[in-house]
Amino acid sequence: MRQALLTRFLRYIKIDTQSKASNTRSPSSDSQLEFAGILKQELEQLGFERVELSGLGYLTASVPKTVDGVPCIGFIAHLDTAPDFSGANITPQIIEDYDGEDILLGDSDLLSTEQFPSLLNYVGQTLITTDGTTLLGGDDKAGIAEIITALAHLIEHPEIPHGEIRLCFTPDEEIGRGADHFDVSGFGAQWAYTIDGGELGELEYENFNAATAVIRAKGNNCHPGTAYGVMVNAQTMAARFHAKMPLQDTPEGSKDYDGFFHLVNMQGQTEEAELTYLIRDFDIDIFEQRKRWLTERVNSYNADLVVGSLEIEITDSYFNMKEQIIPHPHVVDIAKEAITSQGITPLVKPIRGGTDGARLSYMDLPCPNIFTGGHNFHGKHEYICVESMEKAVGVILAICTLTCEKYLNR
């Protein structure tokens, strides 16, 4: 399976499928639909059943059951790569029998063990890196390659007992829209797993509660030569507002279960300016407090203004999947046992972000997240370990067989 897995992955990352937040249609880039079409043909050739590609970019397929009385489960990955860094013309480097030294990316960049000590976990193994000019695309083409490789093995070996297995490859996960048009009832699984995590052993079923706050400053423009007593610079208002935000309550000042406010965009002119913040917290009560606090700050700022004003609009994005997973402990227990069966200690940790699984869990499809084997997603220092990818394939297969064992032995 190793060669099939590696061949698939290297072929998939050659296709530029970056999503585009500025485009409101689904999928947000034509290349995602083209990639899904290529995968559709591959799945049909491999013998998958019920292979369907919707016009909105959702590709689904089934592995038929080999025994009765076992729940239908699913595996999910996303077609798009992040728009944060170039995903075009990816030229991967394959480092076999990694020696634990720094890795040169292309001509000038470096993947250093000092900056990325996780590299030392993979001495003697095979790494795939970028050439320093693009991201790698393991997020989430590694997940796609791992799911297809594992489920193709089940098709090739009908003697392995399992229930019906569903897969879905979604568009636009990286811009938060992966679950927008997901047909949960049509998918038909009782629960599922996103294969979209990072390092070896990761298992995640907690994530941030998330919202976006847009603060708009309203000023007044005029010729600067006659501005005295007339001009109100909205950009200055916005800058002063941000300058009084808590300095350490930010992504770079937080870790583990800490939440934050993250200024992701600021733009404007003299007449109008805009600040966009991400609000994140694992604790739902503190999350709500954060939203109230930011609103109160805007109101307090306005009360001190003589001219000009700020307005705030807060939109919830997704919520902590833990609340939806806890009532279904078998979903996590099976994943833990599957990871352990591959000789790996499960690394249970919260997701400091969100996945399709977070939203799907609130759509009555419990959906924890499992590792792909990659590191440093969304940038030129991304890399992945081939042996970890193989372990991910083993975990997917173990989930299928363990689910069967547990339900047939009841």
- Which residues are tagged catalytic? 80, 173
Alpha carbon distance 150, 331 (integer Å):
19
Alpha carbon distance 200, 394 (integer Å):
12
Amino acid at 352: R
Q: Is 139 annotated as a binding residue?
A: yes
The label of the residue with tokens 């590792």 reads 371
Q: Is 405 annotated as a binding residue?
A: no
Quick one: tokens of 92? 């991967």
Q: Is 174 annotated as a binding residue?
A: yes
CB 84 within 8 A of CB 133: no
Pairing relation of β-strands 383-385 and 127-129? antiparallel
Q: Is 162 annotated as a binding residue?
A: no
Q: Is 114 annotated as a binding residue?
A: no
Q: What is the DSSP letter of 87?
A: -
Encode burial over 329-338: b for 16+ CB neighbours within 10 A, e otherwise. eebbebbebb
264 exposure class (CB count in 10 Å sphere: 0-12, 13-18, 19+): exposed
Strand partners, 403: none
Annotated binding site for Zn(2+): 78, 139, 174, 196, 378
Annotated binding site: 78, 139, 174, 196, 378
